[in-house]
A and B are shown apart, each in its own frame.
Chain A
Amino acid sequence: MNIHRRTRRLILPGMLLALSCAVMVLGGCSSHPSQLDWKLNSSIRGHLPDLKFQLTNDNGKTTTAEDFRGKVAIVFFGYTHCPDVCPLTMTHLHMVMQKLGPLADDARILFISVDPARDTPEVLHQYVKAFDKHAVGLTGSEDQIKRLAKRYRVAFNRGPSNGHGGYEVNHSSAIYIFDEKGHASLLATPVDTPDDMAHDVRQLITQEHAS
């Protein structure tokens, strides 16, 4: 009787130990990015520099990349006077955030202006908040933006006047996704589906939580 009880007492901790081993193994796997199934382009890992900048946010305050450590940063270079592709991309990113549910609090959309002449913090603030509460608008001097764009090989150039006092800006349409430590992890384009983006961002967030 006594022996039986002792055996039973041992079974439960043994099971727990086995279970925690399994969790550790799984956790070990998931922290190894190459073994995960990524929908987006994950080949930039280790090939692009960590997220680093000093810019002005849409509240007019100086902000740096360090302020976003602990969040997955979804970085997109665009401009507010772009009526088609930029709003489409921002809408897709809003859908990604909706799909993430509560996990969206662990991610931020960073909209970096390639048109600092027109994109003041006030304009950016109204703009990004019209899309998603997790979106932050960033602007700076022409020089600050140029250096940052060069760092991530983002090309942009101002097009000719449209005849009504405006102009377009041709720009790289890539979306860069940095993990919570600021390492460049994934590259997306506006044609990637919100489902695929949400899948990978969720995986990045949960991977960080597991490690």
Chain B
Amino acid sequence: MRKLALVAALLAMGFTAHAATAAKAQVHVSHAWIRVLPGVLPAGGYATISNTGDTPLTLTGASSPAYAHVMLHKSSMQNGMSHMRMVKQLKLPAHATVKFAPGGYHLMLMQATHKVSPGDTVPVTLHFADGRQLEVDFTARPANAQ
């Protein structure tokens, strides 16, 4: 029984590793950073995500061992009001780039599992609709980072 569990775990690990490399071949991420706010306040995550492949991709979510919850969000301004809404999925057409930047698409990182300080490297895994994943290193920056 224990052996079976071990095999299953190894298989699962192998699958995850395979999924991660698969996404790496088609997705390029740069300028990945997190704006760290004091205390227990949620942080905003930003990155430039490019689909370098010939097929479209759909980003469905993100996760990180450093935060209990990571959500895809989009800020917008309408009639002088600032709104924020959850994004269930984001299409990345072939050879397209989407910028997660302040005032627009961003990751909302909630409930840090340990203290994240400016200068830290925070791993964040992007999840795609086809099951593929990509782990990206985000750099933690201070609240007033520009």
Contacts and interface: CB of A to CB of B under 8 A. Distances in A.
Interface of A: 80-85, 87-88, 90-91, 94-95, 123, 126-127, 130-132, 155, 159, 162, 164, 166, 168, 170-174, 189-191
Nearest to A118: B41
B19 interface: no
Contact of B68 (A132, A159, A164, A190): A164
B73 to A, nearest CB: 7
21 contacts: A81-B41, A83-B106, A83-B108, A84-B106, A85-B102, A87-B102, A87-B144, A88-B102, A94-B144, A123-B39, A126-B38, A126-B39, A127-B39, A127-B41, A127-B143, A164-B69, A166-B42, A170-B81, A173-B77, A190-B82, A191-B77
Contacts of B142: 130
Contacts of A85: 75, 77, 82, 84, 102-103
Interface residues of B, number: 32
A191 B37 CA distance: 22
A136 to B, nearest CB: 16
B interface secondary structure, majority: strand
Contact of B77 (A131, A132, A166, A190): A190
User: Which of B42, B82, B145 has the most chain A CB atoms inside 10 A of its CB?
Assistant: B82
